[in-house]
Chains A and B, each alone.
Chain A
Amino acid sequence: AQSVTQLDSQVPVFEEAPVELRCNYSSSVSVYLFWYVQYPNQGLQLLLKYLSGSTLVKGINGFEAEFNKSQTSFHLRKPSVHISDTAEYFCAVSETKGGKLIFGQGTELSVKP
């Protein structure tokens, strides 16, 4: 069975600073990896996904993530954050052979002026 661990529950950062949100996963088989964002009292929206190929994946709103198979990580980065990036971010994994979608505990990103 697969699992996802997001290493930081809260990340406070100043506007225009870089940010990294960390995600590690555990699985005995090949997986797909995702990052989603959730604004207050709403559903989740896909930021980016890794299926195969290049390990550096670019998503919406200037976010990118790097898949590291040896470290079983999929950290999310943005070089310069905005106030509007304040939200909760979820890392998710699913097995490539039709597996269920499993989420991490979430990281609350708080961008301060």
Chain B
Amino acid sequence: DGGITQSPKYLFRKEGQNVTLSCEQNLNHDAMYWYRQDPGQGLRLIYYSQIVNDFQKGDIAEGYSVSREKKESFPLTVTSAQKNPTAFYLCASQQGGGTEAFFGQGTRLTVV
């Protein structure tokens, strides 16, 4: 079945550690996105990539990094520079503008 997979579903890390969230899609979509979701703030765009080996910062990129070495993969690293990393993270993919974006089930990151 085609889809987009995020792993793990739940992740716990100690403060000061970097952590990488996985996002894989087998939909052959060109564009991929990372959003952060906090209560009452909707989905805020962290990074997006419209083509392999290229990506752009979103509205809240500070403290995060990404790579897009393969079309199907868009991992997000939450670095120790991110001041408040505890949140629900959603990955999405989209074939192009105007088409439906497909979302993963999300990763809930808790930093203690």
Separation of A50 and B12 alpha carbons in the complex (Å): 39
B33 within 8 A of partner (CB): yes
Distance between B94 CB and nearest chain A CB, rounded to angstroms: 7
Count of interface residues, chain A, beta-carbon cutoff 8 Å: 27
Residues on the A chain within 8 Å of B106, using CB:
41-43
Query: Does chain B have a CB within 8 A of A84?
Result: no
Main secondary structure of the interface of B (DSSP, over half): strand
Q: For residues 84 through 108 of chain B, which have their beta carbon under 8 Å from a beta carbon of chain A?
A: 88, 90, 92, 94, 96-98, 100-101, 103-106, 108
16 more contacts with CB within 8 A, not counting A45-B103, A49-B100, are A32-B97, A41-B88, A43-B104, A44-B92, A51-B98, A90-B42, A96-B98, A98-B50, A98-B97, A100-B33, A101-B33, A101-B92, A103-B44, A105-B40, A105-B41, A105-B42
